[in-house]
Amino acid sequence: MNDAADRLARRYPPSRVPRGVVVGLVAAGTALGLGWLVWAALAHATPAVSAQVSAFTVVSDTTIRVTMTVQREDPSVPASCRVIAQSTDFQPVAEQEVPVPPSAVALANIELDLTTLRRATSASVSGCQVG
């Protein structure tokens, strides 16, 4: 070895942890992280209850009639969904928590009238929960 190589070897000694151990730990951590990601994605892919607006009709400047379709894994369990009506500038003009009673069928249509602050132009379901 020449003088420069000796100085570098003294300044930067070899690692105390073998390279194979480091590679193995990184691979195990990556596999564990990917496994958790797949589990989390599959566990939350199908919610216990979900809903969407299937139709709406603007009845007047202060009323909108909304029909929403609710799907539940277990229809014997009650649920609730939040319905929002919006105006042309996407501002919420009405909001209501709608109870979904237990039933024998997993797919239910619920019709409701929302009283709005001003004319609504659309309606949507912002979320549902069991219980």
Residues 6+ apart with CB under 8 A from 108: 69, 70, 72, 75, 100
Structural domain of 30:
3-43
Average pLDDT, the chain: 92
What are the C-alpha distances in Å from 118 to residues 46, 55, 112?
35, 19, 17
pLDDT band at 130 (very low <50, low <70, confident <90, very high): very high
The tens digit of pLDDT for each residue in 88-97 reads: 999 999 999 9
Checking if the pLDDT of 102 tops 90, the result is yes
pLDDT for the residue numbered 1: 59
Q: What is the DSSP string of 73-129?
A: SSTTS-EEEEEEEE-TTS-EEEEEEEEE---S-SEEEEEEEEE-SS---EEEEEEEE
Q: What is the mean pLDDT of residues 58-84?
A: 95
The model's pTM is 0.68
As for how many domains the chain has, the answer is 2
Are both 67 and 15 inside the same structural domain? no
39 and 71 in a single domain? The answer is no
Regarding whether 60 and 110 lie in a shared domain, the answer is yes
Same structural domain, 84 and 118: yes
